[in-house]
Structure 1
Amino acid sequence: MAPVADRIVLSFAPSAADGDPWSGVDTAWIVDELRGDTYQQYLRRAHGGPVAVGEEWAEFVSCGCATPQDVVLRVERIEGGMALGDATTLAIHPRNDAETAP
């Protein structure tokens, strides 16, 4: 097994299935959900093990009243190892194509 990473930086964008992925999205709500202890524990369990920069995970968050918001999480940076484990800190921030274009 690969050494456990100290920190993994993830970015997220809402699903683009409906055209403009950012229209009508409450980014602050999504960030709060993704950074919550329960959600981060879920991510560690669901995606635990080796990870690679550029890897993407299709997920969703609850926006209240049983309204899910599809999001795509992307591994931007891995520090101190190459595996996601229980001790790995997850840093999550919004992304848009203009910020991440090569």
Structure 2
Amino acid sequence: MTNRAHSETQEAATRVVVSYPQDLSDWGRFQLEKPSFRAFLRKTRDAARAGDTWEEFVGVGCCGNTLDVPLRVERIEGGDRIGDETEIEYEVREACGVDGSWRVQSEGGPKRA
């Protein structure tokens, strides 16, 4: 994962629309919606371009394997730089086989490292 993208302008985006897959669990969606996760995105990304994909760790709670979610930048309003005031908004896109929900933490969950 590349944490910092190269910024082409000095102007901060007013809004960045990011999509997540439809098959992301309710718990995963809850994690993305937290103000702390939006703040994390603003701190770890300098810039965004439509079509960028960010593999982001969402976690699984108190136990289990990690859950990485592919977030895709759909639109940017204003400049391409992400600043402290940039609004992060989410949309849902087509499913992509994300192994989420309680099964990540169970014996029946995904068997990949």
- TM tier, smaller: 0.7 to 0.9
Corresponding residue for residue 45 of structure 1: 43
Letter in structure 1 aligned against 2:81: A
Corresponding residue for residue 3 of structure 1: 11
Q: Which has the larger strand fraction?
A: 1
Letter in structure 1 aligned against 2:68: D
Higher relative contact order (CA 8 A, sep 6+): 1
Q: Is the 8 A contact 1:31 1:92 kept in 2?
A: no
**RMSD of equivalent CA atoms:** 2.1
Identity %: 35
Letter in structure 1 aligned against 2:59: S
Among 75, 78, 83, which residue is 2:76 paired with? 78
Letter in structure 1 aligned against 2:55: A
Cα gap change, 1:93 to 1:63, in 2 (>3 Å): farther
> Pairwise mapping of residues 1-102 of structure 1 onto structure 2 (< 5 A)?
1-13=9-21, 22=23, 25-26=24-25, 28-47=26-45, 49-67=46-64, 68-96=66-94
Please report how far the alpha carbon of residue 63 of structure 1 lies from its aligned counterpart in structure 2 after TM superposition: 2.5
Separation in 1, partners of 2:92, 2:27: 11
Moved more, 80-89 or 59-68: 59-68
TM-score by length of 2: 0.67
Tell me the matched-pair count. Answer: 87
